Amino acid sequence: MTCHEIGRLLDAYVDNELEAARSAELREHLAACPACSRRLADRESLSQLVRRLPYYAAPESLRAAVPAPAGRRRFPPGPIALAASLTLAVSLGGATAILRSMRATQAVQLQASIAEETVSGHVRSLMGAHLLDVQSADQHTVKPWFLGKLDFAPPVEDLTPAGFPLVGGRLDYIAGRPVAALVYQRRQHTINLFVWPAPMSGQIAASGAQSIRGFQVRHWTGNGMSFWAVSDLNGTELTQFVRALQQRQ
């Protein structure tokens, strides 16, 4: 099995939905592939996070307002039935508000999880010898390198005039999916820019400035892509990097 095939099967594997023979093939690959093992660990972490999300039971007012099945009408027609209908409408409005609150909470928690993963990816790239798969300051060399390795074409810009030269790129895995990691330099500081398609629905809003474990993190979306920049640069300079990049988009 290839790494690409593994990526498509990881969700089913985590949920125990694969056949025994397929699961055995996947486990054999994972035992020999550190990159896919990290992807599995990330996917399992995300799955655990989703399972820990709070469960909201329907309020008693909503339960009481739901009409009984046909043949077991609890309210006779007339003013009382009208009052019940109004109560149900108000209760449903409250339930909608609760659902919106749940979705907002889940979006915040998912965003926090992804931010942590980008920092972990940044640290991994600096600890080992896997900072670059393709080393080049030429955007016309780096961008074509990703063809056939990703199901999207990441935008690649050389920001040397702004003081942030491009040094290359690599494949990485964030939130259980393959992403482009573009690497920039600022003096002795490394900037990892993780890029992948932004979701069409339930899109995560830009998070502004964050500091996680001493690293600066910036997130925004544009032109259908989600961008996460991570570095040990000071916050002011990383913001300058983001603005220089956004002016090219």
Residue 106 lies in a domain: no
**Cα–Cα distance between 239 and 236 in angstroms, integer?**
5
- pLDDT tens by residue, 127-136: 876 899 999 9
Q: What is the pLDDT of residues 212-239, one digit of tens each?
A: 989 999 999 988 899 999 999 999 999 9
Structurally, the chain folds into a number of domains equal to 2
pLDDT of residue 156: 97
Query: Can you list the pairs that 26-29 forms with residues at least 24 positions away whose Cβ atoms lie under 8 Å?
Result: 26/1, 29/1
Q: What is the pLDDT of residue 9?
A: 87
User: Given this model, what pLDDT does residue 138 score?
Assistant: 96
Identify whether 100 is part of a domain.
Answer: no
Look at residue 103 and tell me if it is in a domain.
Answer: no
Of 146, 187, 145, nearest in space to 163 by CA: 187
pLDDT value of position 92: 56
Q: In CATH, what number is assigned to the domain containing residue 211?
A: 3.30.200.100
Q: What is the mean pLDDT of residues 10-37?
A: 84
More confident residue, 200 or 110: 110
**Maximum alpha-carbon separation in the chain:** 78
Residue 5, pLDDT score: 83
Q: Among residues 45, 47, 35, 49, which one has the least CA distance to residue 2? A: 35
Identify whether 31 is part of a domain: yes
User: 23 lies in which domain range?
Assistant: 3-51
Residue 173: beta bridge partners?
Answer: 178
Q: Residue 30 domain-assigned? A: yes
**119-134 b/e (C-beta count within 10 Å ≥ 16 → b):** bbbbeebeeeeebebb
Q: How far apart are CA 195 and CA 93, in angstroms?
A: 38
